[in-house]
Amino acid sequence: MKKKQKITRVQLVLSGEDETLLLGIVSADPDYKLSLAINKRIGISLRHSTPLEVQEQGETKIVFSRFSDLTGAPDNLYSLISNRAGKNFLLKKLRNIDFLFHIQPDSPESDRTDQLITSLRSIEGITAVFEIDRKSLRDKNLKYLMF
């Protein structure tokens, strides 16, 4: 007869702080041109990756372009996602935002965040950069932005 194995429970300690950063970028440039400019300015390697596909019940599939840099994984992850696909928006409440820049930094230091925002604002094709507070934003498509 088999002996029952003892079940061991492991509790994961999760910090209460969400360490990801979400920036909204306003730019008239196409996604590939913007990704190249960001690569040059902040020294990362955004490359075209699998597009983000969203499909609501009974609706057609909507595809949003995505450029990602996973070379620093698991410490630093960068992703530039288009907020527009034709007349559709990924985050409908942020219609004025053209791109979402999702960053999972190795440390959530506000100094580095301010430096990053300043660097992005200095890119010629970028009109504005906003830090988006995900906790106050209520949008059903926000779940698609998590890595």
R_g over Cα of the chain = 18
d(CA 105, CA 94): 23
C-beta of residue 90 within 8 angstroms of C-beta of residue 101: no
Per the document, the length of the chain is 147
Between these two residues, 64 and 134, which has the higher pLDDT value?
Answer: 64
- pLDDT of 14 higher than 70: no
Ordered alpha helix ranges (H), the chain:
31-42, 110-121
H/E stretch holding 88 reads strand 88-89
pLDDT digits (tens, 9 = 90+) for 88-134: 888 888 889 999 998 886 655 556 788 889 999 999 989 999 888 77
Supply the angle between the helices 110-121 and 31-42 in degrees, to the nearest 10: 130
Choice among 15-19, 48-52, 67-71 with the minimum mean pLDDT? 15-19
3-class DSSP state of 142: helix
- Place 141 in a pLDDT band, splitting at 50, 70 and 90: low
Measure CA of the first residue to CA of the last residue in the chain; give whole Å: 45
- Place 1 in a pLDDT band, splitting at 50, 70 and 90: low
